[in-house]
Each structure stands twice: as C-alpha cells, then as structure tokens.
Structure 1
C-alpha cells in the first residue's frame, strides 16, 4: 500500500536527503526522486507528480516556501516542510504558501514517519 505514494525529498544537504530517503524506504515508501533546491522541486514535481514532497525551507537558488507556492498552484501534492526554524512568522508564511505540515530539523524517524502517515491520510481525504 505504501508503494502507491510517490515521495520527493528536497534538501540542499545530501546527508539529510540520504537519511530521510533511507528512513522512508526502510518502511516501504517509494522515494521517486531527490532535489537540492526549490527550482528542482518544481521540475521534479512536474515530472513525477508526487503525492508528498518533503522539502527544506532554506536552500540556494529558490527556497522551499517560494517553491511550495508555485507547486501548490499547479499540483495537489502535499508539502511537508523541514526547517531549522520554528519562528511564528515563518510558520504563518508556510501556511499561506500551502504547506500541510512541518518538522524541525534534525528529524528523527519517530517524528518523520507519523508526519508522513498524516500527510498521506490528508492526501487521501482530499482526493476522495
């Protein structure tokens, strides 16, 4: 059942991408692609049409919030934001951009997996 949900992992840190990919793949999720910035997130979303995008906020070229705004205009992919910041202003901006949830880095498996499950449930409900 988990294989049906396509997931993108977008972060400028290769180790973060690898850790998240491995955590997800260990429990059977299908990580279809990875990217390093918001521009790649947009391109990969158009190509793969993922159900979920796990994306960092602070990245070069284009940050995660700008990318989310563009993605949400053309896709129904859920976006789970990764951030080192939990300031109120950033969270308000994330909500306006269409982010479905967020996790504060560093992300543990105990935090990531329930958040991914919740995003998938929301995605299913939105499609129904």
Structure 2
C-alpha cells in the first residue's frame, strides 16, 4: 500500500536526504525524487505530482516556505516541513502556507514515520 505514495525529499544537506530516503524506503514508501533547494522542489513537484513532500525550511536559492507558497498554487500534496527552528512565528507562517505538519531536526525514525502516516491519511 505504501509503495503507491510518491514522495519527494527536499533538503540542502545530502546526509539528511540520504537518511530520510533510507527510513522511508525501508518502510515501503516510493521516494521518486530528491532536491536541494526550494526551486528544485517546485520543479520536481510539477514533474512527479507527489503525494508527499518532505522539505527543509532553510535552504539556498529558495527556502521551504517560499517554495510551499508556489507549490500550493498547483498541487495539493501533503507537505511535511523539516526545521531546526521551532519558533512560534515560523510555525504560524508554515500554517498559513498550508504545511500539514512539521518536525524539528534531527529527525528520528520514530517521529518521522507517524508524521508521514498522519499527513498521508489526512490527504485521502
């Protein structure tokens, strides 16, 4: 069942991307693409029409919140935000942009998988 979900991972840190891909693939999710900035997130979303985008906030070229605003114009994919920050103003901005959930880095598997299940179930 999980393999039918198309997932995109967007993070400027290659180690974080690798860890997320591994955690998700071990659970049977179909990670179809990876990117390192918000501009790539926008392009990959148009190309793959994912069910879920897991995206960092702070990235070069285009940050995750800006990318989310653009993505929301043409996609209803669930977006799970990764952040090293948990400030209230960032959380409010994320909610206003249509973020489904967020996790504070470093992300552990026992936090990631329930969050992924939660946002994907909410999109059905």
**TM-score, normalized by length of structure 1?**
0.96
Shift of 1:121: 0.3
Shift of 1:6: 0.3
Residue 105 (1) aligns with residue 105 (2): yes
Shift of 1:123: 1.0
1:7-22 → structure 2 map (5 Å cutoff): 7-22=7-22
- Give every structure 1 segment of 4 or more consecutive aligned residues whose post-TM-superposition deviation is greater than 3 Å: none
- What residue in structure 2 maps to residue 60 of structure 1? 60
1:80-95 → structure 2 map (5 Å cutoff): 80-95=80-95
Residue 46 (1) aligns with residue 61 (2): no
**TM-score, normalized by length of structure 2?**
0.99
Deviations 1:3-31 (A, max 9, x none): 11000000000000000000000010000
Deviations 1:20-79 (A, max 9, x none): 000000010000000000000000000000000000000000000000011011101110
CA–CA distance in structure 1, aligned partners of residues 73 and 47 of structure 2: 15
RMSD of equivalent CA atoms:
0.4
CA–CA distance in structure 2, aligned partners of residues 18 and 11 of structure 1: 10
Shift of 1:98: 0.8
CA–CA distance in structure 2, aligned partners of residues 12 and 56 of structure 1: 8
Gaps of at least 5 residues in structure 2 are none
- What residue in structure 2 maps to residue 29 of structure 1? 29
- What residue in structure 1 maps to residue 76 of structure 2? 76
CA–CA distance in structure 2, aligned partners of residues 71 and 117 of structure 1: 21
Aligned length: 124
